[in-house]
């Protein structure tokens, strides 16, 4: 079930238009594993939320044993399209495809080259074009994407970061991509930062306090990746939407084992231990006071107006 409006009103900007959030993701399922509770919360407040998915996830693996069949491997593109359609309905968002081809995740030593023509090998300035078009047509106040490391070093996630930042700059430049319509300046850009040591350590502590086995114990003991906890600027309270987030995540049935790692921490512990989704403010055209609890903080708004339905297509 999609989130229902908390009131009969919607949040609007200084011109009386609904606030708009554009979330740029590398693959179908990323919108449900990164920031989904945040987007569900904003949908419930009448904010218009659009997800731009860079690739179709064509080279993804089947990570759910129940779905691991030759037929499903042969129909990966169709399956992932259908999964995305279910997830967007659950979250109450709109979604568009940017049309790039999944790079896969090369493994080995040495790493094999990426497949020719894949998203990870694109020229970021050229690949930004379709996203510039989406930005100028949707006119988001806020855009979310990944940091310079992609959140984790998947080539598509890193390229998602690169084209997001290039598109934000180009969309605000009337001389760039004039064929994509009038310039639009995104007012705030955020990086998803929910996977950080601070959060995992807190949940690990609470699991042990309840006498439960923590799925994070080994990770925390062998933590080698850069910890982004110190980079956090924005903490969006959205614990009540965690169940909806998980419902959307399960919709990506080829990618998510319903009995697996993602659901190992009881919901009550998640909501009590770390009831926010966390971000780094990467760019702002408006004055801000940190830390924040709202992605739209600092943006000039007016009295809410009656909530209407909306749609978007590209």
Which residues does the annotation place in the binding site? 27, 30, 157
Binding-site residue set for Zn(2+): 27, 30, 157
234 contacts 280 by C-beta, under 8 angstroms: yes
> Do 279 and 39 contact (CB within 8 A), yes or no?
no
Around 163, how many Cα atoms within 13 Å sit in the side-chain half-sphere?
31
Of 275, 270, 198, the closest CA to residue 236 belongs to 275
């Amino acid at each position: 079930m999609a989130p229902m409006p908390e009131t009969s009103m919607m949040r609007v900007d200084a011109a009386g238009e609904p606030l708009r959030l554009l979330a740029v993701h590398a693959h179908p399922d990323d919108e449900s594993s990164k920031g989904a509770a945040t987007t569900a919360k904003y949908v419930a407040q009448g904010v218009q939320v659009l997800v731009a998915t860079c690739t179709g996830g064509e080279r993804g693996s089947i990570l759910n044993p129940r779905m691991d069949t030759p037929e499903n491997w042969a129909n990966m593109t169709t399956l992932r399209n259908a999964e995305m359609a279910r997830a967007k309905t659950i979250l109450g968002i709109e979604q568009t495809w940017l049309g790039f081809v999944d790079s896969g995740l090369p493994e080995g030593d040495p790493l094999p080259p990426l497949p020719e023509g894949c998203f990870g090998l694109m020229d970021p300035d050229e690949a930004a074009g379709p996203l510039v078009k989406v930005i100028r047509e949707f006119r988001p106040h806020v855009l979310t994407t990944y940091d310079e490391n992609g959140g984790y070093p998947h080539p598509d996630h890193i390229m998602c970061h690169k084209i997001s930042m290039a598109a934000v700059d180009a969309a605000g430049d009337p001389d760039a991509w004039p064929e994509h319509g009038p310039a639009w300046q995104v007012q705030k850009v955020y990086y998803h930062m929910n996977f950080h040591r601070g959060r995992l350590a807190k949940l690990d502590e609470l699991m042990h306090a309840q006498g439960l086995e923590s799925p994070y114990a080994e990770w925390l003991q062998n933590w080698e990746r850069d910890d982004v906890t110190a980079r956090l600027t924005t903490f969006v309270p959205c614990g009540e939407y965690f169940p909806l987030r998980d419902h959307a995540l399960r919709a990506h049935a080829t990618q998510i084992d319903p009995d697996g790692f993602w659901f190992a921490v009881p919901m009550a512990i998640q909501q009590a231990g770390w009831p926010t989704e966390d971000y780094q403010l990467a760019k702002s055209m408006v004055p801000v006071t940190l830390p924040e609890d709202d992605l739209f903080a600092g943006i000039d708004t007016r009295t809410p107006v009656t909530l209407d339905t909306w749609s978007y297509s590209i």
